[in-house]
Amino acid sequence: MKLWPCQTSAGEVASDLLLGLLRDAGAHGVSVLVLIHKYKILRASGRILELRKLGYDIKTLSGPGGTATYVLLSEPASRAPPLFS
């Protein structure tokens, strides 16, 4: 589906929200369960992959029951503009 220039997809909004949550969480990280239940971010692993491709260093920790927790370790060297503008 082609979007008009002023529109963003739900995935873009989710990636921007996820990046903000990772920044705020710091070393504690954000659990995939929190992402799903509190923020309604589905396919978090796909969003994490997108961020990694943009140069964000994100560590995946295994939590209770095999649930993932994501921790933002570093951002790209060049201060990139927002993911989607």
**Which CATH number covers residue 17?**
3.30.420.610
**Structural domain includes residue 1:** no
- Taking each helix axis from N to C end, the angle separating 44-53 and 10-25, rounded to the nearest 10 degrees, works out to 80
- When divided into structural domains, the chain yields a total of 1
- Domain hosting 29: range is 10-74
Structure tokens given for 82: 């927002």
Mean pLDDT value across the chain: 84
pLDDT at 21 over 50: yes
Question: What are the pLDDT digits (tens) for 35-72?
Answer: 999 999 989 999 999 999 999 999 999 988 889 999 99
Report the distance separating Cα 21 and Cα 7, nearest Å: 22
pLDDT at 1 over 70: no
Q: What is the pTM of this model?
A: 0.77
